[in-house]
């Protein structure tokens, strides 16, 4: 994570106390959720790196997401975290 992003996150107020400790689900398998018309919502895979980069070019994602994915290498690093 970039230093600037981390600093922004530190400045954001915690309006609600966390229910669970940070990272407590990190070792858990992430779910895949089937939705309408055969669509499957699932965690990103390393093979999705190009799609992540393309998605992060969308101004709406850039507006609401603190992270950036400017290259496939950066996207792969983000996916593996």
Structure tokens at 30: 């992430």
pLDDT digits (tens, 9 = 90+) for 39-73: 999 999 999 999 999 999 999 988 888 888 899 99
Burial of 75 (0-12, 13-18, 19+ CB in 10 A): buried
How many Å is the Cα radius of gyration of the chain? 15
Q: Provide the pLDDT for residue 11.
A: 66
Helix/strand/coil percentages in the chain, nearest 5:
45, 5, 50
Cα separation of 60 and 72, whole Å?
20
Cα separation of 10 and 66, whole Å?
13
Q: Provide the pLDDT for residue 10.
A: 61
| pTM check: above 0.85 | no
């Amino acid at each position: 994570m970039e230093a600037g992003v981390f600093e922004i996150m530190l400045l954001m107020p915690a309006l609600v106390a966390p229910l669970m400790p940070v990272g407590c689900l990190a070792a858990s398998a992430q779910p895949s959720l089937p939705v309408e018309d055969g669509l499957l919502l699932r965690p990103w895979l390393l093979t999705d790196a190009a799609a992540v980069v393309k998605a992060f070019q969308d101004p709406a994602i850039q507006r609401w997401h603190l992270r950036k994915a400017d290259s496939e290498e950066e996207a792969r690093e983000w996916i593996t975290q």
